[in-house]
Amino acid sequence: MLKIGIVGMDKTARHHIRVMADTGFTIAGIFAPQQSDARLFCQKMNIRYFSDFGQLLQEAEVVDLASPSPEYYPLAVQTIKKSRHLFLENAVLASPEEALQLIELTDEAHVIVQVNYPERYHPAYSTARAYVSDPLYIEAQRHIAFTTPNRSLPVVMDLMMHDIDIVLSLVKGNIRKVHATGVKVFNGTPDIVNANLEFDNGVVVNLTANRIASKNIRRIKLYQRHARIQADFLKNRVKVLRQKESSVEEPFIVKEPKIIDQDKLTRSLLDFSNHIQLHKTPSVSLEDAYRNLKAAFLINDKIELLSRQ
């Protein structure tokens, strides 16, 4: 089994630690110097604790930047320069330029780097994806119920990024035009954002992200010739409405395919492990992250431009 070093001890990192035994990796140790309880946690779990990241790199073949924080970006650079494979949470990357830098380093080091956009491995999305061919119009909503007014990360980078990733993985075209608006309610950056993307192949996408909503919503609807596919990520449900080819009394078929409930992170890490063994480009690569960040920055730029008018 591949020896993996884990960085972080927050809620996200602890989930990484819990599922790691089912993913083809064995934990070489944990590096989390800013977490006061990390050493005690490692003792209880019988996992080696490292106070020095360089020492962890000596023991590990793979590194998992499990805490979604941009402050760990320098560790990503250090990992690749040491020719270690890397799995990182998408929030570690703060700009397209950072993703591009890692791409260049990866090409030199010949290592596998996978970025964790978890909704790509959501059972509802995986099930819906089998019915998607050439979407014409996509509508995605991602709302979280209001809990606290103090949110520093822009909503496009925090919430909308997940749907940007899904859309760009499906649409085989380049963004031609962006319309975007944002509303600031409780924070210095917009709490509600709506973005309309037009692609050079004619596809139109409408995205909405809201972090002060009354209830949680995470769903996507895709429209293509003779079919509508919708996936609800919270209810783990997919519904497909298809038009029959021949003219009959009931011209439409409604199908709700069975979904096998699987942990998103486990599936993502298993995929990563397989791609390392095969030395193949991962399903969610740094190039995907670069493209996603470019789109997110385009949306943010349009919002800022509109706010100055």
CA dist 225 and 103 (Å) reads 36
pLDDT, residue 35, reads 75
Cα distances from 62 to residues 70, 163, 231, 275, 285, in angstroms, run 19, 28, 33, 12, 16
* Region 295-303 average pLDDT: 96
CATH topology of domain 120-262+294-308: Dihydrodipicolinate Reductase; domain 2 (3.30.360)
Of 197-201, 206-210, 256-260, where does mean pLDDT reach its minimum?
A: 256-260
The alpha carbon of 237 is separated from its chain's Cα centroid by a whole number of angstroms, namely 20
The phi, psi pair for 261, rounded to 5°, reads: -75, 115
- pLDDT tens sequence across 249-268: 667 788 999 998 889 999 99
pLDDT, residue 24, reads 84
* 175 has pLDDT over 90: yes
* 116 has pLDDT over 70: yes
pLDDT, residue 182, reads 95
- pLDDT tens sequence across 139-174: 999 999 998 766 777 899 989 999 999 999 999 999
For 24, how many CA atoms within 13 A lie in the half-sphere containing its CB?
A: 15
The CATH code of domain 2-111 reads 3.40.50.720
Domain range annotation of the chain: 2-111, 120-262+294-308
pLDDT, residue 285, reads 96
Burial class of residue 40 (count of CB atoms within 10 Å of its CB; 0-12, 13-18, 19+): exposed
* 308 has pLDDT over 80: no
* Region 96-100 average pLDDT: 97
The set of residues, in sequence order, having a beta carbon less than 8 Å from that of 9 and lying 6+ positions away, is 30, 32, 35, 37, 38, 41, 67
DSSP state at residue 165: H
* 307 has pLDDT over 90: no
Contact status, residue 186 vs residue 213, Cβ threshold 8 Å? no
* 95 has pLDDT over 80: yes
pLDDT, residue 150, reads 64
pLDDT, residue 309, reads 65
| Ramachandran bin of 110, using left for φ above 0, alpha for ψ from -120 to 50, beta for the remaining angles | left
247 confidence band (pLDDT: 50, 70, 90):
low
pLDDT, residue 218, reads 97
Question: If you average pLDDT over every residue of the chain, what do you get?
Answer: 93
pLDDT, residue 199, reads 98
pLDDT, residue 64, reads 98
CA dist 115 and 160 (Å) reads 16
CA dist 51 and 170 (Å) reads 42
- pLDDT tens sequence across 22-74: 898 999 999 998 777 889 999 999 999 999 999 999 999 999 999 988 899 99
* 90 has pLDDT over 80: yes
Contact status, residue 138 vs residue 224, Cβ threshold 8 Å? no
